[in-house]
Structure formats: structure tokens, C-alpha cells
Amino acid sequence: MVNENQARRLVVLGTGGTIAGRATQPNDNVGYVAGQVAVSDLVAMVPALATCALDIEQVAQINSKDMVLGVWQALVRRVASHLDRREVAGIVITHGTDTIEETAFLLQTLLKPSKPVVLTCAMRPATALVPDGPQNLSDAVAVALHPQACGVVVVCAGRIHGALDVSKVHPYRTDPFDSGDTGALGCVEEGQLRMFRPWPPGVSQGTHDDAGLQRLLGASSLPRVELVFSHAGVDGELVRALLEQSSSKAGPLRGIVVAGTGNGTVHEDLLVALKEAQVRGVDVVVASRCAQGRVVPHAGQPLPDSAGLSPVKARLALALQLLEA
């Protein structure tokens, strides 16, 4: 008799991160080196996965704080390729926590998959006395095998987060993510899913947006979009310096995302410089630096808002938008 999970093939892609980290002492959860353990070895640490039909591939081996376009391109290419395989039910990606929310947003925005693409991670290295990676990986596989699962999600500490909502909100605890006002999509309890709300909306019936995919894969760099913060005592000199910078390997300044205070409010001195940037053809978007909620649009708002995206996701969204121009 064939196990139900054996009849559904999954792909596990490794990119490094703390989940693949190694420390010299088992009680050291901060002084480790990320991206040291092969994804095949991570899978081997989870005996329950031995009954699953898995294809395992190492796409990258980095600390996710050092994420670059080249790694994103390699990952997007492999995810799109595996989504096109009819026998593949879903994809699991091991990733570092620092930029997992950005990678998840990129994958959801570009691929809009009707199959599940599940990113998972860890806050303790693989060599820890009690590593959290094996349970997170096991939970991620359970999510990817769920027959109703779709879209890009992040699974960590038993919780399932949507790609558009998830943010890292804590630097140390093993449950470092939050989905703000929307809350998590659901949770994993002993391998079983309990859903709180629907899977990510708007996923296509196909596997990806080919035009957007090709634009990203063909880019030598993303359009340069910088992130600045509004705060007490800020002036506009940083923005003016960016405008006057004559050379950069990232190319000319194309966009600025400002993390505003409260409901996207911006210090008057900074706002003057941002408007100067707009006059010079630079796209400016305002998000909120608040951890919860979103910018509520109003008639007197001086800058376009980020449509609910966090500052880091708004920066990436604007870069992708400019890539189309």
C-alpha cells in the first residue's frame, strides 16, 4: 500500500541561513556561522521526512542578511521550473530569517503560484542543544502536502504566515514573526493544519507571470530604490546626497521609500527634500515605521502610500514596478 504522502512529490530547495548554521559549542545560539550545513543533511535530521517523495537541491548557501539579486534570480528560476513539473505538489525552501519576508514577497509577487511554496527557517543553528530547524522543516512539509495549500507562505514555530503580511519582529526568540492586523493564516499541530483564514488570495491558475519573471531574470541589477526614515531632528540632506551621487554600481537613484512616523507622516524638512526628488523624476512612496497597522490614505496626504506594505516590502515592490518601466 502506498503512503498518501509518497504519491505527492515535493521539492526542497536550500539557500542557507541559521537553519543551516554551525557553532563551535551546542549552547551558543548567537555566535554561529550561517549557511554551513547542506540542505540534504537538514532533511536527513528529520526522520519523518524519510517517507516523503522529495527532490533536494542546494540553490545557495548564504547568510540571508547578505541576500543579493543573483541569489534571488537563481531561486526564482528553480522555483518556476519545479512549479511547471506536473508531478510536483509543492516546494519547500530553507532560508534565513533576516530577509525571508522579502524573498517570500518577491516569490508571491512574481510567481503567484497555485501550488504551495513554503519558506521555513530557524532561530537556532543546526548544532544547537535544542535546534528549532527540524520541527520547522517538518511543519513546512506538512503545509506543502496539504491538498488545499497554495501561494507563498512562511512557516515557523508552528505558525503559517502569508507572504504579503509576514514581518520579523523579534531578534532572538524562536517565534520571531508576526502578521500584523491580519494574523497568521493558521498553525500546524502535530502535523495537522488548523486554518484561521483563507490561503493567500489572488493566486493564478497557472504557475507564474512569465513576463515579470523574464524581466527579473534578465536584469543585471534592480532599479535603485533607497529606504530612508523620518524621525525627530531629521533633515533632507541624506536625500539630497543621494540625488547628487554621480556614480554607483547600482545605477542612478530611481525611487525612495520613506518609513514615516505614525500614519505615514514625514518631518517637514525631509518632506521638502523628497518633493525635490519627485521634481527630478524620482518615485517616492511613504510607508509607516510602526510595526502594526498600515497607512490610512486621506485627502491631505502629500506622498503616495505603500498600499499597506512594510517599508522593506514597499522598497522591493517599487523596484519591481520600476523594472517594468
> Hey, where are the domains in the chain?
4-195, 222-324
Percent of the chain with pLDDT over 90: 88
112 and 85 Cβ atoms separated by less than 8 Å: no
Residue written as grid cell 557553532: 23
Please compute, for residue 81, the number of CA atoms within 13 A of its CA located in the half-sphere on the CB side. Answer: 12
The catalytic position among 15, 18, 94, 99 is 18
Query: What is the rounded CA–CA span in Å between residue 312 and residue 163?
Result: 13
pLDDT in tens, 143-163: 999 999 999 999 999 999 999
Query: What pLDDT was estimated at residue 245?
Result: 85
pLDDT value at 179 more than 50: yes
Residue written as grid cell 483563507: 198
- In the structure, how many helices (H) and strands (E) does the chain have? 8, 13
Query: What is the rounded CA–CA span in Å between residue 316 and residue 106?
Result: 8
pLDDT in tens, 26-66: 999 999 999 999 999 999 999 989 999 999 999 999 999 99
Q: Is 18 a catalytic residue?
A: yes
CATH class, 222-324 region: alpha beta
305 and 295 Cβ atoms separated by less than 8 Å: yes
175 and 168 Cβ atoms separated by less than 8 Å: no
pTM: 0.95
Smallest CA-to-CA distance from 179 within 194, 163, 193 is with: 163
pLDDT value at 6 more than 70: no
pLDDT value at 139 more than 90: yes
The residues with which 10 forms a beta bridge, in sequence order, are: 54, 90
**CATH for 4-195 (3.60.21.10, 3.40.50.1170, 3.90.76.10, 1.10.3720.10):** 3.40.50.1170
pLDDT in tens, 208-220: 667 888 999 999 9
- One fold for both 4-195 and 222-324? yes
Query: β-strand 116-120 against 88-94: which pairing, if any?
Result: parallel
Query: What pLDDT was estimated at residue 193?
Result: 98
